[in-house]
């Protein structure tokens, strides 16, 4: 286990930076100037490619480290980028979220441009939105305030004013929050701005908007920022909003030193104002842009990758990348139909238990679902099975009260620690005084989450102690420094339990084993997805869920909500032709085989084709792969028609490349010779 450190690694030679990359990643690293667009599929090593690009630019003196600004969407991703650059011996590069970068610049220039200190930032919109609703005579409850807050946020990141809201929402086929009309929401958006002004506060969207406006209207400020930052990298570019793009345009000031990285197939936040438009149209905006595609999937097995590709292919997703698996074969994806939700939760808990018994760590298992409301059933089933779990997507780890209190206690203990007592023992003593115990509580919910958070601190203490050299054992002060470093990067320690998360919360994460639960119509796609665009986004969301799995993938749904209820649910349309007991899938397979066979005219051709199919089936069984991944029916038919006698002839057949000729060529030629003779 490696822990974070503030000390950078020794700088690498430029050739060593490139040697660590595959050909396409290397192409990214060498594309140091001009507009660059990296289309990077799930698991293809995009962070590796762009951090090595930055490092290579610095080591070849193409970039000054302080002239590079890399922006992404989460503090965790920005922290990961900084850590990787530090490991490559590069310091001084700014890797931040859009908001963190903008807040820093706004705070610096505000006293000069406006005078005084910047306004206080409103951490939560809800109180101001509730007040705005009262002013426009709208009745609200907690759920309505949440929905209206999201709508206010969408308007702001979409650069839609209160005056333009109705027109923009209708043009976007965007329904108003339930119980309200668009005119009421427009008046609420206006009232919300008034409330903020009266209270002397700004929200997070204002930070971006105010900085962009400052750069746009104050030439001296723009010149100063643009002279500092000359090279820009934007990660997850498919999630950029009009507001973020507006700020990026002000940073650039018409220059082209921009590298964007994204995957249109992973656009799942359009409801928040994110749009893949800027990524898909990048080559129209920059006609001289260099485009690099990363399609080698290092994360998932061929079985997982094949299913992910099929889900996109059937949806004809614009700009979708066809992933190519690089890992060895794994178990086939499994598909299970349960009688009801309780049976599904219990079944998944049992399967998770078997994985854990086989050696898979609980923290490498995830149960993913479409809505947070589905979490409760899985929490109950896992608790009944005695399996630890954590619910992701709630309060951030380092913002939890028990974690903040524990760090305060540990900081105090570090000043008076017994040098002869091992650090992990000291940590356990401190946390015991704060309510931690060796065994988890029987209760579920908040009490269990509190214990899991403190247990994560105990686990981190053990890891830090184990990683320290024998001649310099870790102390409680070492642990506190580690926690402070992690808190700044929002890099929470691993909780040793099964992760429960919504599909949206799972974006950017990965596990050895993933259970995709509730893949039924009404949940996937969700019933609220009423337009073609919304349904297409639901398909992409399923794709994101599938590509979170490294090796084990199980998809399931329940025919009924309650035990004994009517079995009215149907599995999602997105798996039509892919679910094993789907008649349409069997029919398509039979039709494909029939069409391939019909191409053949002679008895010898048909005999060769059938012999090759028998051989292919035996290979599929031995390797536990789907038969079509060995060779497709059309390829077998072409071989049977050509009846090659040498590898050079075999190479002329579409669908069989050098790797498969090396692996299967001699066997295929032997089958052809034996059957033809």
Buried b (16+ CB within 10 A) or exposed e, 437-464: eeeeeeeeeeebbbbbbbbbbbbbbebb
40 is in an annotated binding site: yes
DSSP letter (8 states) at residue 295:
-
Contacts of 408 (CB under 8 A, 6+ apart): none
42 is in an annotated binding site: yes
Cis ω before 525 (30° cut-off from 0): yes
47 is in an annotated binding site: yes
Q: Are 11 and 90 in contact (CB under 8 A)?
A: yes
* DSSP E strands, 245-289: 258-262
Q: What is the dihedral of CA 135, 138, 141, 145, to 10 degrees?
A: -70
3 is in an annotated binding site: no
Contacts of 92 (CB under 8 A, 6+ apart): 64, 65, 66
Buried b (16+ CB within 10 A) or exposed e, 30-40: ebbeebbbbbb
Q: Are 504 and 372 in contact (CB under 8 A)?
A: no
Q: Are 50 and 235 in contact (CB under 8 A)?
A: yes
End-to-end alpha-carbon separation of the chain, Å? 60
Q: Are 70 and 62 in contact (CB under 8 A)?
A: no
Read out DSSP for 571-605? B-GGGTTTSTT-HHHHHHHHHHHHHHHHT--SHHH
Burial class (CB in 10 A: 0-12, 13-18, 19+), 141: exposed
Pairing of strands 334-340, 549-560: parallel
Using DSSP, state whether 120 is helix, strand or coil.
strand
Q: What is the 3-state secondary structure (H, E, C) of 401-414?
A: HHHHHHHHHHHHHH
Contacts of 297 (CB under 8 A, 6+ apart): 41, 42, 43, 44, 305, 323, 324, 325, 326, 327, 547
Q: Which of 394, 407, 588 is CA-nearest to residue 499?
A: 394
625 is in an annotated binding site: no
41 is in an annotated binding site: yes
Q: Are 238 and 267 in contact (CB under 8 A)?
A: yes
Annotated binding site: 40-47
| Residues placed in the known binding site for ATP | 40-47
């Amino acid at each position: 286990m490696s822990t974070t450190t503030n000390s950078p690694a020794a700088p690498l030679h430029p050739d060593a930076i490139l040697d660590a990359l595959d050909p396409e990643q290397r192409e990214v690293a060498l594309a140091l100037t001009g507009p660059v667009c990296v289309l990077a599929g799930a698991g293809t090593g995009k962070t590796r490619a762009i951090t090595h690009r930055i490092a290579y630019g610095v080591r070849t003196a193409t970039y000054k480290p302080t002239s590079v600004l890399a922006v992404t969407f989460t503090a965790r991703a920005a922290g990961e980028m900084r850590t990787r650059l530090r490991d490559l011996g590069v310091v001084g590069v700014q890797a931040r979220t859009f908001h963190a970068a903008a807040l820093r610049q706004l705070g610096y220039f505000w006293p000069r441009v406006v005078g005084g200190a910047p306004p206080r930032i409103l951490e939560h919109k809800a109180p101001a939105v509730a007040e705005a609703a009262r002013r426009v005579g709208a009745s609200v409850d907690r759920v309505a305030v949440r929905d209206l807050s999201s709508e206010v946020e969408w308007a702001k990141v979409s650069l839609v004013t209160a005056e333009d809201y109705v027109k923009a929402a209708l043009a976007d086929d965007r329904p108003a929050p339930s119980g309200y009309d668009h005119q009421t929401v427009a008046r609420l958006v206006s009232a919300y701005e008034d409330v903020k002004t009266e209270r002397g506060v700004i929200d997070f969207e204002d930070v971006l908007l105010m900085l962009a406006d400052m750069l746009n209207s104050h030439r001296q400020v723009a010149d100063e920022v643009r002279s500092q930052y000359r090279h820009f990298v934007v990660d997850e570019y498919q999630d950029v909003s009009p507001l973020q793009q507006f700020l990026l345009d002000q940073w650039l000031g018409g220059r082209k030193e921009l590298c964007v990285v994204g995957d249109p197939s992973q656009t799942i936040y359009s409801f928040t104002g994110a749009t893949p438009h800027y990524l898909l149209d990048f080559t129209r905006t920059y006609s001289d842009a260099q485009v690099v595609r990363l399609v080698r999937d290092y994360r998932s097995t061929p079985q997982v990758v094949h299913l992910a590709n099929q889900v996109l292919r059937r949806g004809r997703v614009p700009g979708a990348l066809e992933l190519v698996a690089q890992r060895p074969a794994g178990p086939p994806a499994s598909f299970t139909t349960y009688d009801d939700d309780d049976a599904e939760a219990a079944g998944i808990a049992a399967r998770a238990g078997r994985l854990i018994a086989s050696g898979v760590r609980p923290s490498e298992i995830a149960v993913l679902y479409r809505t947070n409301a589905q979490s409760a059933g899985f929490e109950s089933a896992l608790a009944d099975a005695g399996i630890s779990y954590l619910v992701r997507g709630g309060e951030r780890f380092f913002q939890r009260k028990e974690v903040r209190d524990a760090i305060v206690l540990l900081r105090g203990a570090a000043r008076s620690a017994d040098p002869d007592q091992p650090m992990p023992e000291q940590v356990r003593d401190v946390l015991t005084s704060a309510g931690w115990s060796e065994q988890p509580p029987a209760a579920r919910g908040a009490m269990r989450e509190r214990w899991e958070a403190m247990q994560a601190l105990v686990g981190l203490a053990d890891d830090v102690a184990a990683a320290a050299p024998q001649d310099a054992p870790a102390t409680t002060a070492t642990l506190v420094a580690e926690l402070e470093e992690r808190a700044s990067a929002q890099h929470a320690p691993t909780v040793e339990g099964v992760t429960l998360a919504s599909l949206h919360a799972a974006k950017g994460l990965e596990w050895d084993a993933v259970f995709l639960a509730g893949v039924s119509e009404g949940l996937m796609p969700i019933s609220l997805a009423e337009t073609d665009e919304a349904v297409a986004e639901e398909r992409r969301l399923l794709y994101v869920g599938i590509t979170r799995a490294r090796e084990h993938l199980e998809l399931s749904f329940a025919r009924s909500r309650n035990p004994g209820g009517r079995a009215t649910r149907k599995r999602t349309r997105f798996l039509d032709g892919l679910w094993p007991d789907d008649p349409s899938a069997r029919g398509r397979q039979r039709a494909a085989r029939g069409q391939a066979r019909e191409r053949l005219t002679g008895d010898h051709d048909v005999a060769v084709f059938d012999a090759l199919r028998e051989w292919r089936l035996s290979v599929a069984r031995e390797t536990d792969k789907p038969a079509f991944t060995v060779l497709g029916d059309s390829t077998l038919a072409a071989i049977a028609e050509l009846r090659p006698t040498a590898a050079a002839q075999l190479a002329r057949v579409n669908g069989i490349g050098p790797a498969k000729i090396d692996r299967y060529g001699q066997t295929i030629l032997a089958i052809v010779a034996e059957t033809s003779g």
